[in-house]
Chain A
Amino acid sequence: MKDELTQDQRSANLKGMGSSRKRVEDVRFTQGKGRYVDDIKLDGMLFGDFVRSPYAHARVTSINTEAAMAIPGVVAVLTAKDLEPLGLHWMPTLAGDKQMVLADGKVLFQGQEVAYVIANDRYAAADGVEAVEVEYEELPVIVNPFEALKSNVVLREDLEGQTEGAHGPRKHHNHIFTWEQGDKEGTEKVLEEADVVAEEMVYYHRTHPCPLETCGCVASMDKVTGKLTLYGTFQAPHAIRTVVSLISGIAEHNIRVVSPDIGGGFGNKVGAYAGYVCSVVASIVTGKPVKWVEDRMENLMTTAFARDYWMQGKIAATKEGKITGLWCHTTADHGGFDACADPTKFPAGFMNICTGSYDIPTAYLAVDGVYTNKAPGGVSYRCSFRVTEAAYFIERMIEVLAIELNMDAAELRRINFIKSDQFPYQSALGWEYDSGDYHRAWDQALNAVGYKELREEQAQRIEDFKAGKTRKLIGIGLTHFTEIVGAGPVKNCDILGLGMFDSCEIRIHPTGSAIARLGTISQGQGHATTFAQIIASEIGLPADDITLEEGDTDTAPYGLGTYGSRSTPVAGAATAMAARKIRAKAQMIAAYLLEVHDDDVEWDVDRFSVKGAPERFKTMKEIAFAAYNQAIPGLEPGLEAVSYYDPPNMTYPFGAYICVMEIDVDTGEHEIRSFYALDDCGTRINPMIIDGQVHGGCTEGYAIAMGQEIAYDEMGNCKSATLMDFFLPTAWETPTYTTDFAVTPSPHHPIGAKGVGESPNVGSVPCFSNAVHDAFRPFGLVQSHMPHDHWRIWKIAKDLGLHS
């Protein structure tokens, strides 16, 4: 057989790894043919809606549902009393705590679920919510975690007397856990003996992932078959199935969980919410499907906040700037219940990546979790577990140290980077960084932006400012971040006891096309596009001939889902491994067809050919047909494989970001003049999609750093529960990003990929914030808390006496 195409042409036809393949999802989405949870319509479907507490801390003295029940269309109203006989008035959280499903005697945060109204349509449900009469008796409110630890007010009366929590001893009735890592005594000694110690409180404010689609579900209990189908905005559908089974007592095989198209997740859709439990109960009680979709206010007020970490830091160095030690004590505000979504053994997530990109010989971290009268959550808003907090902390501490040493912050970073020959690198707080080349990335970034010239321009601007020629300052924001993603090794990472492996099953059809199913679920990342590219490169079938399915627990193999940038590091690895199993069998089939020994054929892009005789080959397409057509001695028919991949280590993507910002001293307004983002995520699967992820993540980071906040007043009223008050940048404010890359493959990942989705959020927040700080550094600013909205920047200038 003659083949007209060159190897490169055949390779290009596959649209495999490295190609900017257009997304297969987009044909549906651009025509409005996505199928999101609120698009699901089942026969006889009812609607659920919540009565929520207007108070942040109160006793619920009575609930009267009579008037609500009299409203036409209202079918039922559930309260904690109805759920109690089922044992469902409380539910376990992912963090080892428990949480009220419906108010059981008291409420602990504004917006807490008090009653669940079920009605024929959403308007009647809303009418019912209005008509439920609830009497409250207000209790003292605590919104500050430091006060909570001193207060006599007991927030969690259900835990009174319990001195031991899920993560060890509780020191106070409002204390949840203390988590310690590293060498306390050694670090204290280094701090005592150091030439220089810089100390600062770094606060990473409370914010919210706020995907454009809110959370929701449709629960449908089929009373004839006894099977529950639960459609929902789940980032982890398989884990949700197991959780539903465990808390409801319904056998797991009788539960089918389906994540349809998801309109963005960013961590908001990892947890289990009261709405899911109530909808399931409502469907069981009524025998009809029940839909619950939260509105934006409910989303911002009640489901899954992020951050809220008070990080007290001390960093020690020699006079020359070599860092000798890092100390961090974090007070973590968890709200009314500890509903963080972290692996079980990590109550503060991977906060112990807070030594960042630097070779810091000694370090100590302690985190105290605290209850307050704020919404529960603590999810990772587009980051691996608490990694943005860690990156923000270290990147601020480096800047603070640079001020203390009177050094250039770029140079200070350079002399402290972990060197490329130190990988795999053992960090002082317990991680083994897989690979990196920080110096190369840093130099590439500084050169790309013309760092030296920027500093000269900035110096001139300061002169001009002092001379009264301008009222605008320039800030140059620097960040070099290291992520830790791809949770994770089953030996130390689990959620509710479920090991954090992931999976892929591939079936090759006789005509040489395929379907692959994964344990993850896309929420905009483009899995249907990129995972097909991995398979295309591994088995030589065109990506266009590979269908990808996720999110239906009846058909997909079990996996822990998509969050923490774990899809490519874990499920992507499973995909490659499953494909390799297929290729191994294909090799035997090819050898049989070519009448040679298995070892005498070799892989060549899309085929096996006889070694030394490349004109004798069998394409993967031919092999696929043979798998279903030939009786091959010693081989089963068919061609399919499944892989459950337990990663040997996390992956450590990194990046160098530089922002140039103009700041108007008199108005506090800013303008992002340029933003450069270099990402090293190891092997790149689809550069177009990587760029898109970076643009999106940086925009989230821009929002968080420059204005986005979940704020409370002293009464515990949420002051930012609509998109009027909660900052989401529009196309008008959003900067334009320049993306760049380097490639340092992960040595332990089958294709060397590390994941990228969350890097830009992790890296851009400190970068924007550092730019603000840098602008005011010559005037004495050391630390000012985010978000840097116009008023806060104006206030910095005022406090520094720049308004004369």
Chain B
Amino acid sequence: MSKMHVKLNVNGQEVEGLAEPRTLLIHFLRENLNITGPHIGCETSHCGACTVDLNGKSVKSCTVFVAQANGSDVTTVEGLTNDDGSLGVIQEMFREHHGLQCGFCTPGMITRAHRLLQENPNPTEEEVRFGMAGNLCRCTGYQNIVKAILASADMMNAQKEAAE
């Protein structure tokens, strides 16, 4: 099958490559770019393990063609680590509150939580639960994930206040 040229900005880096028109974004990220944070759990948009940020919106990269993402900004969990290599706030709070076990859903969870907190910096527990309902976890029962996201919101707000 003939290939097309695609260009993306992934985690702040300009990247380009050749892909079949049918190539899914998740496969391009994982196989062409070796960005293996986003995972494949279902390929039907149900589990959210492949969640990435596409132009400021959460998408499930298993149901987006890379061709559709051509020219876009993509953020994966790898892009949420601080510049000095330390854990970003949400990553740190997931660790602090035991918000992960096997780690397979975690990149999608954290990437989704990142967008959720951009959209709603002061969510209630109910809003977190609703906002995260597109991401499945088989290990944690979500209780500590919810706790971690609420703690992240508090910490991010405190950091914002301190900066102002």
Contact = CB atoms under 8 A, between A and B. Distances in A.
Interface in B126-145: 128-130, 132-145
B49 A212 contact: yes
A614 to B, nearest CB: 37
B129 A732 contact: yes
B95 A212 contact: no
A264 B100 contact: no
A471 interface: no
Contact of B78 (A32, A72, A696, A730): A32
Interface residues of A, number: 58
B72 interface: no
Interface in A199-233: 210-214
Given A263-B104, A524-B102, A731-B129, A737 B141 contact: yes
Given A32-B36, A39-B36, A212-B102, 11 more contacts: A22-B96, A29-B106, A263-B102, A523-B102, A695-B143, A696-B141, A728-B136, A730-B135, A730-B136, A731-B135, A732-B130
Contact of A32 (B40, B76, B139): B76
Contacts of A723: 42, 44, 46-47, 136
Contacts of A121: 31
Nearest to B36: A39
Interface in B77-129: 77-78, 80-81, 87, 91-92, 94-96, 98, 100-107, 110, 128-129
A438 B39 CA distance: 43
Contact of B144 (A22, A692, A700): A692
Given A123-B22, A212-B137, A688-B98, A734 B103 contact: no
Interface string A339-377: 000000000000000000000000000000000000000
A33 interface: yes
Given A295-B43, A723-B47, A30 B87 contact: yes
A666 interface: no
Interface string A258-276: 0001111010000000000
A724 interface: yes
A322 interface: no
A731 B145 contact: yes
B133 A732 contact: yes
Contacts of B1: 72, 123
A798 interface: no
B9 interface: no
Nearest to B105: A212
A32 B141 contact: no
A38 B138 contact: no
Contacts of A26: 94-95, 100, 103
B44 A724 contact: yes
Interface string A21-48: 0110111111111111011010000000
Given A36-B39, A36-B104, A524-B101, A210 B81 contact: no
A699 interface: yes
A296 B140 CA distance: 20
A525 interface: yes
Interface centre among B30, B35, B107, B139 (most CB of A within 10 A): B139
A122 to B, nearest CB: 7
Interface of B: 1, 20, 22-23, 27, 30-31, 34-44, 46-47, 49, 76-78, 80-81, 87, 91-92, 94-96, 98, 100-107, 110, 128-130, 132-146
Main secondary structure of the interface of A (DSSP, over half): loop
A526 interface: yes
A34 B103 contact: yes
A696 B143 CA distance: 9
Name the 10 nearest CB pairs between A and B, nearest first: A32-B37, A263-B104, A524-B102, A29-B103, A695-B141, A699-B141, A524-B101, A723-B46, A30-B91, A32-B77
Contacts of A28: 103
A119 to B, nearest CB: 13
Interface string A227-270: 00000000000000000000000000000000001111010000
20 contacts: A23-B100, A29-B106, A32-B106, A32-B107, A34-B103, A36-B36, A36-B39, A212-B39, A212-B105, A212-B139, A213-B102, A213-B104, A214-B41, A696-B141, A728-B46, A728-B138, A731-B142, A732-B129, A734-B143, A737-B141
A738 to B, nearest CB: 10
A485 interface: no
B1 to A, nearest CB: 8
A722 interface: yes
Contacts of B23: 123
Given A212-B102, A524-B101, A730-B136, A22 B95 contact: yes
Given A212-B136, A722-B44, A728-B136, A264 B102 contact: yes
A629 interface: no
A32 B146 CA distance: 19
B43 A31 contact: no
A708 to B, nearest CB: 11
A35 B140 CA distance: 20
A692 B136 contact: no
B128 A263 contact: no
B127 to A, nearest CB: 11
A646 B88 CA distance: 44
A299 to B, nearest CB: 9
A689 interface: yes
Given A23-B98, A29-B100, A31-B87, A211 B107 contact: no
A38 B102 contact: no
A333 to B, nearest CB: 24
Contact of A27 (B38, B42, B95, B107): B95
A736 interface: yes
A598 to B, nearest CB: 42
A123 B66 CA distance: 14
A525 B102 CA distance: 7
Interface centre among A700, A724, A730, A737 (most CB of B within 10 A): A730
Contacts of A699: 140-142
A34 B38 contact: no
Contacts of A737: 141, 143
Contacts of B43: 295-296
Nearest to A266: B138
